[in-house]
Amino acid sequence: MTTGAWIALAAALAVLLVVLVVGLVLYRRRRISLTATEKPSAGAPEIDRSGGYQAGGGFNFSQGPTATAEPPAPPAPSAPPVSAAPPVPPAAPTPAPEAPEEVPETPAPVEETPTEVPLADVAPTDVTPTEVTPTEVTPTEPTAPTTELVEVEPLAPESDRPVLDEIAPTSGRLERLRGRLSRSQSAIGKSVLGLLGGGDLDEDSWEEIEDTLLIADLGTATTTKVVERLRQEMAARSVRSEADARALLREVLVDELKPDLDRSVRALPHDDHPAVLLVVGVNGTGKTTTTGKLARVLVADGRRVVLGAADTFRAAAADQLQTWAERVGAEVVRGKEGADPAAVAFDSVARGIDEGVDVVLIDTAGRLHTKTGLMDELGKVKRVVEKKASVDDVLLVLDATIGQNGLAQARVFSEVVDITGVVLTKLDGTAKGGIVFQVQHELGVPVKLVGLGEGADDLAPFEPGAFVDALLG
């Protein structure tokens, strides 16, 4: 081979080598880039879409588990169907077919999007929420999801919005509202403290304490534990004054309320989708009112909120939620009467994702826990929502005035939708504040919020210490 031929061969080999090296580098770069995009390093700071928001003193908000049950692609009708045959309206001769768990398309976006509303800057007014008298009407089962029945009520342009009233400070609410617990206070605090502070207790006095706690709805298990511990501690410590007795009773009751439970409301947004909360319960317990009050706290703290009116059985229920939305500065997604509640719930979340809001609160229709068809429907609402995003918190709203019956309700709801928190409403109207102990003891689910009145700011985070202080007066 000539020298020239050797040179040509060497040059060809060099070019081939360069091509191979460049190809390898490009290939590896591409791989690194993909990996980095899909799985950010564990220590990477989370994107804060809240404008630096920190949960205001009082209400404690957290982020729900990050795992999304299913990808946010348009869901396929593959989820299990509703198991029980729904009640049939008189006109229908045969049971309606089970609706496949399909979800409709999200309605076309509208121009106006909600903005942060500076509640602190607006003039206070005396507006009170629209009240809807709870009815005994049992809603009928829905038909299949119907896209055209879902509508979005965005926030009106700023100039057309009603003047928002000033929100009461969110911190220290339970202390401020302690007077509302006066009925429970005389039942638990005054009588038990009176007996304990009286010095040596005979068997009759211990029985009286036990009866008082039972009447205040602490339940047998908690009452027995509390009395046993009081007896031990009274024997071990010197309890000479009413102050000593108060300190002891406080300690025992607070311990029973399990102060270490996580009571944060999972309302902080995820990186790529809003927090989703489902509000459930039987008729008239205060679901809509609680949803409105909670939205008010969230908006006042700088959150953007979508309210989903998944009660499609009564137009008045959606109207009531819409009134709240207007008052607090949130957007509402609602369905016409007869729309599938699961479709409305799904569209609320879709809307929340599209708009990049922080929280979607879904208010569901009241339903009796004994109606299997309606409970199945609630399960379907949750499953359908989870095709879009995981549900972070399922809040069961219980009416404290109904006592033991609330527990029966709670058990059934818990089986169907796996409740993660309880809101105990109407504690202002009952002497049975002890139900808080029982609810937690029986369900193992924390009471997260308490309703202490009909006013817009009469919702407080549940804090065991402050609650027991209020009970003891």
Ligand X SMILES: Nc1nc2c(ncn2[C@@H]2O[C@H](COP(=O)(O)OP(=O)(O)OP(=O)(O)O)[C@@H](O)[C@H]2O)c(=O)[nH]1
The annotated binding site is made up of: 281-288, 363-367, 425-428
Rule CB under 6 A: which of 129-168 touch ligand X? 131-132, 134
Beta carbon of residue 388, minimum distance to ligand X (angstroms, whole number):
23
Beta carbon of residue 331, minimum distance to ligand X (angstroms, whole number):
19
Q: Is 244 in the site for ligand X (CB under 6 A)?
A: no
- Beta pairing class for 393-399 and 421-425: parallel
Q: Near ligand X by CB under 6 A, which window of 117-125, 128-136, 226-234, 340-348?
A: 128-136
How far is it, in rounded angstroms, from Cα 211 to Cα 207?
6
Q: Is the dihedral of CA 187, 189, 190, 195 positive or negative?
A: positive
Structure tokens of 380? Answer: 């379907």
Residue ranges at the known binding site for GTP = 281-288, 363-367, 425-428
Instruction: Compare residues 196 and 324 and give the one whose CB is closer to ligand X.
Output: 324
Binding characters for ligand X, 356-375, by CB under 6 A (x = yes): ----------x---------
Identify the residue among 75, 269, 284, 421 touching ligand X (CB under 6 A).
284
Element housing 58 (H / E) = none
Beta carbon of residue 400, minimum distance to ligand X (angstroms, whole number):
8
How far is it, in rounded angstroms, from Cα 67 to Cα 178?
38
Number of chain positions touching ligand X (CB under 6 A): 23
Residue 113's CB: how many other CB atoms inside 10 A? 14
Rule CB under 6 A: which of 296-325 touch ligand X? 311, 317
Count of CA atoms in the C-beta half-sphere (13 A) of 234? 21
Structure tokens of 93? Answer: 């001769």
Binding characters for ligand X, 448-467, by CB under 6 A (x = yes): ---xxxx---x---------
Q: Is 425 in the site for ligand X (CB under 6 A)?
A: yes
How far is it, in rounded angstroms, from Cα 303 to Cα 289?
19
Q: Near ligand X by CB under 6 A, which window of 191-199, 208-216, 241-249, 284-292?
A: 284-292
How far is it, in rounded angstroms, from Cα 137 to Cα 367?
10
Q: Mapping DSSP to helix (H, G, I), strand (E, B) and coil, where does residue 100 land?
A: coil
Identify the residue among 287, 303, 371, 387 touching ligand X (CB under 6 A).
287
How far is it, in rounded angstroms, from Cα 348 to Cα 334?
8
DSSP assignments along 321-349, one per residue: HHHHHHHHT-EEEEE-TTS-HHHHHHHHH
Q: Near ligand X by CB under 6 A, which window of 189-197, 256-264, 283-291, 299-307?
A: 283-291
Bridge partners, residue 424, by sequence: 398, 450
Q: Is 184 in the site for ligand X (CB under 6 A)?
A: no
Q: Tell me which residue has its CB nearest to ligand X.
A: 366
How far is it, in rounded angstroms, from Cα 135 to Cα 197?
46
Instruction: Compare residues 428 and 469 and give the one whose CB is closer to ligand X.
Output: 428
Instruction: Compare residues 214 and 316 and give the one whose CB is closer to ligand X.
Output: 316
Which residues in this chain contact ligand X in the complex, by CB under 6 A? 131-132, 134, 281, 283-289, 311, 317, 366, 425-426, 428-429, 451-454, 458
